Amino acid sequence: MNLEIPNKIKPLINNAHQVALSVFRPISRKYDRAEHEYPKELDTLSSVLDGMNEGDPDSGAGAAQTGKGRGKEDDGSVKNGANMTTCLGSLELAYGDVALLLSMPRQGLGNAAIAAVANDEQLERFGDKWAAMAITEPGTGSDSAAIRTTARDEGDHYVLNGEKIYVTSGARADCIVVWATLDPKMGRNAIKSFVVEWGTEGMELARLEKKLGIRASDTAAITFNECKVPKDNLLGDPEINPEKGFAGVMETFDNTRPLVACFALGCARASLERTQELLEESIEYDYDKPVDNASAVEAELYRMEAELEASYWLTVKSAWMADNRQPNSKEASICKAKSARVGNWITLRCVELAGSIGYNEDELLEKWSRDSKILDIFEGTQQIQQLIIARRLLGKSSKELK
């Protein structure tokens, strides 16, 4: 195993780290307080990233780049591509502010969905769009297969009816990737994803949510009432294939779950490093002595570092597998489950260790602890990830292991 990050990725990691420190953190508290106010500072940053991708397509990064390599012949070489680059860059940006990262134009989870399953014509048409992802519905919880939004085939278009909630960047994005079923009687087998652009008749913004964390990122509820969507806006295969089920739309998560894992790792690392700085006068770190001989606080900080390191390499492995077109559904769930749980634990514990300093708004520690909670929920809760992992390890279907 070669655990060294490729040299070609290191400049992007360094640049993202500087953005986290010099752009994100100075405005972090401002937009946390001014919930739903759009961070205008992100427009320039997003344009710079777009320009970098256009100038050097082979070393691109960002949600829309994660599908690169799809359809190309495997030449047998080891690849460190857009999934790895985007994950490690996102980790550094999350070190600054997760909500601002989620608010960056054209970096939505919907962009990753389009990159994962769209055809060449759709990639060209939606390539410069900011795409959000709409899966969750009232009453469906974490069961993506139980969605009730319908897509009715009307010849040259589909008609969507239903409601989606908790759509990240739903109001700001140019379009929404909507999961809907072509036939409710067929369950998960008939679920497809559709790109619906804002301005489409029958698509309405119901409300913006007020949240515990990631307040700089808008979270929308959207309704679809006899909403007409062109036939060529359906992503992937339009045919209902009971043998494949909805594996096509689920491929999206193989790219996005490692990304969310990196969000959690960046937030956790920021909390841990700041806590170590606050406690540096009272703790003398000695990595040579057994942890049982260390003070309780010192030992706990060591354990946090170890858990963070383990989560990091699980995530790197999953991203590497995606770049090399290896099936990574299990690994994507493992890294997401581990990183999100560890991230939430670290941020909350750091608030406690910092005492009154960690609990007030003079420090970003309390904000990071609030932001981290959502990372253990969206893109599949902790319980859902463990269920997926169990199915993969035991070779069970969703019907056999619920």
Quote the pLDDT of residue 49. 82
Same domain, 95 and 186: no
Question: Which residues does 184 contact at the CB level (< 8 Å), separation at least 6?
Answer: 148, 150, 190
Same domain, 214 and 279: no
Within a domain: residue 116? yes
Distance between CA atoms of 196 and 175, rounded to whole angstroms?
5
What's the domain range around 383?
Answer: 247-394
Tokens read off for 193: 């994803």
**Known active-site residue 92:** no
Tokens read off for 381: 């809760």
Within a domain: residue 224? yes
The residue with tokens 């489950």 is 337
> What rounded mean pLDDT belongs to the chain?
91
**Cβ distance 335 to 311 under 8 Å?**
yes
Same domain, 30 and 155: no
Angle at 354 between CA 349 and CA 356, to 5 degrees: 115
**pLDDT tens digits for 311-349?**
999 999 999 999 998 999 999 999 999 999 999 999 999
What are the Cα distances from residue 96, in Å, to 157, 268, 310? 43, 11, 21
The residue with tokens 């067929």 is 186
Distance between CA atoms of 9 and 6, rounded to whole angstroms?
6
Same domain, 223 and 197: yes
Provide the residue count of the chain.
402
Same domain, 228 and 268: no
Quote the pLDDT of residue 240. 79
User: Looking at residue 35, which CATH number applies to its domain?
Assistant: 1.10.540.10
**Cβ distance 195 to 116 under 8 Å?**
no
* Stated pTM of the model: 0.93
Same domain, 136 and 169: yes
Among the listed residues 339, 333, 287, 340, the one whose alpha carbon sits nearest the alpha carbon of residue 313: 339
Number of structural domains (the chain) is 3
The residue with tokens 């489409």 is 200
Same domain, 21 and 50: yes
Within a domain: residue 400? no
| 114 pLDDT higher than 70 | yes
Residue 11: CB atoms within 10 Å: 10
Of 170, 201, 235, the residue at which a domain comes to its end is 235
Within a domain: residue 2? no
Q: Which residues pair with 227 in a beta bridge?
A: 160
**pLDDT tens digits for 71-106?**
566 777 888 888 999 999 999 999 999 999 999 998
Same domain, 267 and 340: yes
Buried b (16+ CB within 10 A) or exposed e, 162-186: bbbbbbbbbbbbbbbbbbbbbeeee
| DSSP codes, 281-302 | TT----TTS-GGGS-HHHHHHH
Query: What are the φ/ψ torsions at residue 326 (nearest 5 degrees)?
Result: -95, 140
Instruction: Report the DSSP pairing between strands 219-230 and 157-168.
Output: antiparallel
Quote the pLDDT of residue 351. 98
Within a domain: residue 379? yes
Distance between CA atoms of 140 and 132, rounded to whole angstroms?
19
Rg (CA), the chain: 21
**Cβ distance 156 to 144 under 8 Å?**
no
Same domain, 224 and 343: no
Tokens read off for 177: 């990737």
**Cβ distance 32 to 40 under 8 Å?**
no
**Percent of all residues in the chain with a pLDDT value above 90, rounded to a whole number:** 70
The residue with tokens 């029958």 is 202
Terminus-to-terminus CA distance in the chain, angstroms? 35
Tokens read off for 341: 């749980």
Same domain, 390 and 272: yes
Same domain, 251 and 390: yes
Quote the pLDDT of residue 298. 95
The residue from 298, 307, 363, 379 that is catalytic is 379
Distance between CA atoms of 8 and 298, rounded to whole angstroms?
36
Of 73, 91, 126, the residue at which a domain comes to its end is 126
Distance between CA atoms of 310 and 305, rounded to whole angstroms?
9
Of 202, 235, 268, the residue at which a domain comes to its end is 235
Quote the pLDDT of residue 249. 65
| 245 pLDDT higher than 60 | no
User: Looking at residue 184, which CATH number applies to its domain?
Assistant: 2.40.110.10
